[in-house]
Amino acid sequence: MFNVSVKNLFLFARKRSLATLATLLEPPKSSSSSCSSSPLIDYLVKSLDLPLESAVSISQRLRCHRNGVERADSVVGFLRSSGFGKAQIAKLVTNGPTLLRSNVESNLKPKLEYFREIGLSQSVLLGAIAGNSSFFGRSLNSFYKPQIDFLMKCLRTSTALDIAIKRCSWLLTADRRYVLEPNIDLLMREGVRFDDVVLLMLYQPKTLVMKVEKMAAFVESVKGLGMEPSSPKFIHGLRVMSSMKESTWREKVENFKSLGWSQEECRSMFARRPLCLALSGENIRRTVDFYLNTASIAREVIVGQPVLLKYSVEKRLRPRHSVITVLQSKGLLKKRNSIVVPFKISEKSFLEKYVMKHLEQVPHLMEIYRASAAA
């Protein structure tokens, strides 16, 4: 009896071992294949035109919730009714799949309503959200409302807020406590006026959402070029320098040197007109060549008035120079150095002072001007 029991036990154990071994030898089930026929995947492919691979990835990140189609459809339907296009929604859920689990009534809807109430335009609001998949993941009361209060203290009007967010949607999601406030404090400690900080936030807000360490480095670099933080031009220097790589900056300086500028003249010009170094190298070379070789303006004049570099040769400088040349040939311009002034004044003033004024002496002057502009 005992021997029979032992024998049966041995046979049972052997069968269990073989069964376990067979299980271990089975190929692992692919998570993607187990989810490849998920209703959620089918829904994403059909409703948002997502590639199958993307839909599978989203489903996997949501752990293949097979009962999540209803919630996903609620979210997608709300976004569509709010003005988002199919491509925008697809981008949002691809970058942030958990959006599809959101509750429309308690999460999504209150946020959109709040931003519309404070005056953000539809196009700016949708663009800001479409470019930021984490938008709906932040709390309305503990994050967005204090964030907007802070921005409004700086920008003061909903119109200015709308403009700033259109230029940099990160203003909405860059935590003011760790980015915006420290950067603004740094600038004001250095002597930058608050009104100039506001202008920076309005015209190049991206500068204010960089890491504080980078901001400090740029501030020192601009100061090193001879610009005082208390000068209104300082923020323009900061805008230009922070918008390009160090290698690009060096290339621009070398471009001026190749045209005859010294290092000190480059510094002087940047301090006078920071935005001159934002121009492309090709445009600078073409403009300088016109001044030196066509208009016969000395390089020192350009260094002293770098605003001259911003004007288009084709649209502004050449047409006006053609008029000035005719007037000079007829002795109607007494002072030689007056050639700089016509390039700087407005179109209306130029026509009044240099064209209409001399039509009696030179009847075809307007035709000369228009022909040069058309060419």
Confidence of residue 336 (pLDDT cuts 50, 70, 90): low
Grade residue 4 by pLDDT with cuts at 50, 70 and 90. Answer: very low
Nearest-angstrom CA–CA distance, 36 and 57: 10
- Nearest alpha-carbon partner for 87 in 130, 56, 137: 130
Alpha carbon 6 to chain centroid, angstroms: 79
pLDDT category of residue 339 using cuts at 50, 70 and 90 = confident
Distances (CA, A) of 268 to 263, 300, 302, 305, 342: 9, 11, 11, 10, 24
Predicted confidence at residue 209, as pLDDT, reads 96
For 182-198, how does the pLDDT look when each residue is reduced to its tens digit (9 = 90+)?
Answer: 999 999 999 999 999 99
Question: How would you classify residue 159: left for phi > 0, otherwise alpha for psi between -120 and 50, otherwise beta?
Answer: alpha
Tokens of residue 371, six digits = 């022909």
Q: Kindly report, residue by residue over 218-229, the tens digit of the pLDDT.
A: 999 999 888 999
Q: Which whole number is the average pLDDT over 57-79?
A: 84
Cα 124 to Cα 127, 158, 233, distances in angstroms? 5, 12, 29
Q: What are 249-294's pLDDT values in tens digits? A: 889 889 999 999 998 998 889 888 998 888 998 999 999 999 999 9
- Residue 2 is predicted with a pLDDT of 42
pLDDT in tens, 127-147: 999 988 889 999 999 999 999
Judged against a pLDDT cut of 70, whether residue 17 lies above it is answered with no
Residue 62 has a pLDDT of 83
